Amino acid sequence: MKVKGKEYRTVWMERCVVYLIEQNLLPFEFRIFQAKTYKETCEAIRTMIVRGAGAIGAAAGYAMAQAANEAKQETYNEFISSAKTEIENTRPTAQNLFYAVERVYQAACISKERALIEAEKIADEDVAASRTIGEKGNELIKDGYNILTHCNAGWLAFVDYGTALSPVYTANRSGKNIFVYVDETRPRGQGARLTAWELKNENIPHVIVPDNAGAFLMSQKKINMIIVGADRIARNGDVANKIGTFEKAVLAKEFNVPFYVAAPLSTIDMNCLTGNDIPIEHRNENEVLYQTGIDKNGKLREILVCSPGSGALNPAFDITPAKYISGIITEKGIITASEKNIISFKAKE
């Protein structure tokens, strides 16, 4: 991604220090966070300094490499095994985290140097897959299309390019006239804060809409297609994504709007037979009760926006059954959300 004329990845590592775009401050402030130890990188994942399936995966891979580098020779195996468990416990739903940690851990069992190489390889693969997803998804987008998004699955959710937004960027750069309706995506506002910020950087026409405006927009025939990302895809094609995705898929079927999921094959968890096997993260209620923004003086503030004394329920993800999904856009092509097709495509990896 390019910010103020300079190219950035969402997360990268230099000399065993992990650098991450501080996403909790966007769009009000652009700052790079430095995680000097694997525990600091774990905290960055846990507190959503970095978020999004691919970016979490890359950060987790880097954390595993950091742990290998920090380990003392006499307790090396015990240290990296303990670190692996700690990293995996930072976020329970995103499959890319577990995929990356396992790969780097296996490399670390050979040597520290191999762990570092493997972590970089995972990040580079993420960029390549996201770029190709953009090319494959662009084939679905016609000139003049209005596209609805949910949450953020762009630059910031992956190492670069993204998944759901990658076809949008490719379409825009190829000269297609497109417009994006951006779900605000409560409670953290990743659409209103992150997706809108990205689209503004790319000069793509867009507007932020309330999460509950989907039915109205589709009934007015203002939406030609929906593209969302995925945090984990089950073997049968069920998809875990940001809370509210399921609602959009149901509405899309009702109004005959194509509903696509964009994700690399690494997001597919063959050990999860159906969406029922995917763990759903429940986050702190304060994300619902409080909102962060800037006041009239430009100062970043957190304020209570709900009834004082009331509690809140905060599931971070929901499961969209395969029957609602028009197709899954992967780096290997667009596949039907079915167990037969997923097994076939995974075999090609």
Catalytic positions = 231
**Which backbone phi and psi does 320 adopt, to 5 degrees?**
-100, 115
The three-class DSSP label of residue 293 is strand
Angle at CA 239, nearest 5°, toward 232 and 275? 90
What is the rounded distance in angstroms from the CA atom of residue 307 to the CA atom of residue 334?
Answer: 45
Q: How many CB atoms lie within 10 A of CB 212?
A: 12
**Which backbone phi and psi does 22 adopt, to 5 degrees?**
-75, 95
* Whole-number Cα distances in Å, 286 to 42, 109, 164, 248, 299: 21, 40, 28, 25, 20
Q: Contact at 8 Å (CB) between 154 and 147?
A: no
Rg (CA), the chain: 20
Q: Contact at 8 Å (CB) between 155 and 321?
A: no
The one-letter amino acid code at 130 reads S
What is the rounded distance in angstroms from the CA atom of residue 123 to the CA atom of residue 102?
Answer: 14
Tokens of 231: 């945090």
Q: How far is CA 127 from the centre of its chain?
A: 13
What is the rounded distance in angstroms from the CA atom of residue 21 to the CA atom of residue 27?
Answer: 11
What is the rounded distance in angstroms from the CA atom of residue 131 to the CA atom of residue 60?
Answer: 21
Tokens of 15: 């000399």
The one-letter amino acid code at 295 reads D
